[in-house]
Structures are given as C-alpha cells and as structure tokens.
A and B are shown apart, each in its own frame.
Chain A
Amino acid sequence: MSTFGEVVLRSLCVLIAFLVLPLLVGQTEHKLMAHMQGRLGPMYAGGFHGWAQLVADGVKFTQKEDIVPLAADKPVFRLAPALGIVSYLLALAVIPFGPHLVAAGITGSLLWVLAVGAIGTVGTLMAGWSSGNKYALIGGLRSAAQLVSYEVPLILAAASFAMAAGSFSLVSIAHAWTPWWLLWQLPGAIVFLVAGTAELQRPPFDMPVADSELVMGPWTEYTGLRFALFLLAEYAGIVVVSLVLAVLYLGGWTGPFDHQIGPFWVLLKGFFFAVIILWMRMSWPRLREDQLQRVAWLGLVPLALLQIVLTAAGVVLTT
C-alpha cells in the first residue's frame, strides 16, 4: 500500500474509534446511572433499552440554532470547541492495542499524550475568556486553576510509570509490565485516575461547570453543535484517560491468549477504569473550589512524590 493510503487508513481508524468509543461510554453512563440511582433513564429512542439516545441527541444538537453573543470575541469563541476534539484525537492515535497495533507509533508516546492532552485545556480557557460572560469568565478561571493544579500530580504519576519501565513509549511500558506493578505502582495509579478525572472536570471535580451557581461555566454561551463538541471531547477524554491507565498500570494487551485477543484486553481494562470514572460521578457530591485545590496540593502531589521515591528505590535496588 502506498504511504499516503496507509496514512489515510490509519487516520480513518482513529477517527472511527474517536466517534464510537465515547458513545459507548456515554451509553454505559446512562444505564449505570439509571440503575445506581434507581431511576428509569432514556428507554425509547431506537427501541431496545434506548440504545439510540445519544445518536438522537447528536441529531437534535445539529438542528439547534448556533448563537454567537454580541459581546463575545467571535473568532476565538467559534474556534474553541475544535481544540478539544483535535487534542483527544491526537492522544487516541498513539495508544497501543497490541505490540504492533498502534495507529501512530512514536517513541515518546507517553510524553505526547500528556502534551496534546493539555491543548484541550486551552480550548476550555478560550471558551471561558472569549464568551464575554461573567459566568463563563469565573468558570474559565476555575478551570485554569484546576487544570494546572491537577496537571502536576498527573505528570508526576506518569513519570513514575516511565521510570519503572525506563522508557516513555507506551508500547515499551506495557512490555516492561509485570504483575508486581499492581502493588508497586498502586499509589501512582490512584493519583493518575483521580487527577485524570479532575483534568476532565468530571464530577466530583466539576467546580468550573457547577450548574447550580455558574449555569455551565465556560460553556454557558454555547448552543447546538458547538456545545455538543465540548461534550464529545469530554467523553473522548474519559476514553483516553482510561485506555492510557489500562496500558500503564494493567499492562495493556497482557492477558490470557493475548496473541489472539490482545486488543480485547486493552478495551476491557480501559472499560474498567471508565466505569470507575463514571461511578465517581454518581456517588460523590461536588468539591468546593479551595477543597478541590487542597486535594491536589496536599493529597495527590505528596502521594505522587512518594510513589516516585518508591519507584526510584525499586529500580535502583533491582538493577
């Protein structure tokens, strides 16, 4: 196959995964939340258990009028939703589903995921700042403070996995994985999961979009499809965080019969973490802004540094 054809094919696969996996997470959220909170949930669209609800939501969003407020900084306001989409698409492209099954094989893939994940953050800030709305501005400031604070434990936890494997490549990290990591890297995995959830501004870390006080935070002025793209980016973010954690902490494709069904293990392990992220939303109330910051600085950062000490000691003592 020609180089061009292969690039197009690989990009298309990433695009399909990007459009399908977040819908699966969304559908799981509907059903889990309905069962856990003892309510019905959407049951009509598509017939069987409302399976087409999210597709119907998408169609509804495209049919809504697109409103750009007069007070907004219009080009920035219009462009903001694109950043989240592109950033998580790029992060998804380097996640390995098998030793050779990765859309874009680059050596520093862990660094790449951390780097492009931060671009989505800029989209939220652009939305908050450009809306010309006080709710959006306050929400944007809270976002900025929250995203930089939780970036630190996230990076430190990721560094711990890289140290344990001696590589920044997600493929090499999954190769270096042993069951021993389940204990050795446990604090790092907890930090990564909590900080990743906070980076996505999912409840209980949804202070920036707290609907009872800030309407919808940075997204207050958005309507229709642009708003839907922010939501798509959020669910794609859950997919990326879950899959990266599955590769880092649970060994990715490692499992029984992994020569035949390796990608299945990655998806299953990722699904496990996605369910935990959804579960947190259903169980816990929102943290107040300063409590949320204390969790990051006095809880997660010291824990992540402890994990780094543990990892470094383990590596130096065993080599």
Chain B
Amino acid sequence: MSSGLSGYLVLAGVTAAGVLLFVAAMFARRLLAPRAPSQAKASTYESGVDPVAGGWAQTHVRYMTFAFLYLVFAVDSVFLFPWALVLRNKSINHASLLEMGIFAAVILVGLAHAARRGLLRWTLDN
C-alpha cells in the first residue's frame, strides 16, 4: 500500500460491498422464491407439536459465570496488547516482564479458585 490510499477507505468500500451482497441476495430470493404464507408455517417450530408458552424461556444461570471469567481476562488482554509493543524498549523490558508476570499470576489464582470451587464442573462424575 504505497499509493497513499488509506486502507480504511478500502475497508469502507468492502463494507459497502458486503451490504450490497446481502441486499442483492435478498433481491434474488424475492424474485426466485415462492411465497405461500400460512398461519401454521409461521408458528414456532417445536419438533412438530404446538408451541408451549413463549420462546423467551427461563434458562440456567450458570452461563453467567463464564461471562464473569471472560470480563476478567478481557481486561487482562487490554493491558497485554500495549505491553506487547513496548516489550523491546530496553529501559523497561526487564521490570515490565516481572510486573506483567505478577499481574497475570493474580488473575490465574482467580481462575484456579473458580475451578477448585467447581464453577467449571456441572456434574460430579467427570
């Protein structure tokens, strides 16, 4: 990319191409696909029986623990990325290595705690 053209301009063009692709596909579908709507067809699929109650059902809370764990490590990686670029800087490289090690170790202790208390295990047998 030596022409001076900004890469982001191309990315805007690619975004437009993607939107156009979707619109063109939907247009082709409108031209080619049959349309015969009926009440039964538009009902929710539940393996052939009439749907019971609504679709937004209650579900298990244990998925939330993964969200918490993710949040911790996502913040960890936010700090990791800028560090990746300054690691070669001679004035801070040894000190930053130690500091980053301590930081990552603290987070790992959290993960080990979550695993030890059984958050990552849903059954007793595995």
Q: List residues of chain A with CB under 8 Å of any chain B CB.
A: 3, 6-8, 10-12, 14-15, 62-71, 81-82, 85-86, 89-90, 93-94, 100, 102-106, 111, 131-138, 141-142, 144-145, 148-149, 151-152, 155-156, 159, 162-163, 166-168, 215, 220-221, 224-225, 229, 289-291, 293-294, 297-298, 301-302, 305, 308-309, 312-313, 315-316, 319
Contact = CB atoms under 8 A, between A and B. Distances in A.
Given A133-B44, A225-B26, A8 B13 contact: yes
Given A10-B14, A89-B15, A308-B80, 15 more contacts: A6-B3, A8-B13, A10-B13, A71-B44, A103-B14, A133-B55, A135-B45, A135-B46, A145-B66, A168-B81, A225-B26, A290-B122, A293-B120, A297-B114, A312-B100
Contacts of B81: 111, 159, 162, 168
30 contacts: A64-B33, A65-B34, A65-B35, A66-B29, A69-B42, A82-B22, A85-B21, A85-B22, A89-B14, A93-B14, A100-B2, A104-B10, A106-B7, A137-B56, A137-B57, A138-B59, A145-B66, A145-B67, A148-B67, A159-B84, A163-B87, A166-B84, A168-B81, A215-B47, A229-B25, A290-B123, A291-B126, A293-B66, A297-B120, A301-B111
B74 to A, nearest CB: 7
Contacts of A289: 122
Contact of B14 (A14, A137, A215): A14
Given A6-B3, A15-B21, A104 B33 contact: no
The 6 residue pairs across chains A and B that have the minimum distance between CB atoms? A105-B1, A132-B55, A86-B18, A11-B13, A106-B7, A104-B10
The secondary structure that dominates the A interface is helix
A152 B77 contact: yes
Given A67-B41, A90-B14, A168-B85, A294 B121 contact: yes
B44 A69 contact: yes
Given A132-B54, A319-B93, A308 B45 contact: no
Interface residues of B, number: 74
A122 B46 CA distance: 24
Interface in B56-101: 56-57, 59, 63, 66-67, 69-70, 73-74, 77, 80-81, 83-85, 87-88, 90, 93-94, 97, 100-101
B7 A163 contact: no
A3 B108 contact: no
Contact of B33 (A63, A94, A166, A316): A63
A312 B29 contact: no
Contacts of B93: 315-316, 319
B81 to A, nearest CB: 6
Given A133-B45, A135-B45, A308-B80, A151 B70 contact: yes
Contacts of A90: 11, 14-15, 18
Contacts of B17: 11-12, 14-15, 89
A6 to B, nearest CB: 6
A62 B32 CA distance: 6
The secondary structure that dominates the B interface is helix
B29 A106 contact: no
A50 to B, nearest CB: 23
Interface in B29-43: 29, 32-37, 39, 41-43
A292 to B, nearest CB: 10
Nearest to A302: B108
Nearest to A64: B33
B44 A93 contact: no
Contact of B97 (A14, A293, A313): A313
**Chain A CB within 10 Å, residue with most, of B88, B120, B126:** B120
Contacts of A133: 44-46, 55
A162 B94 CA distance: 18
Contacts of B12: 7
A156 B97 contact: no
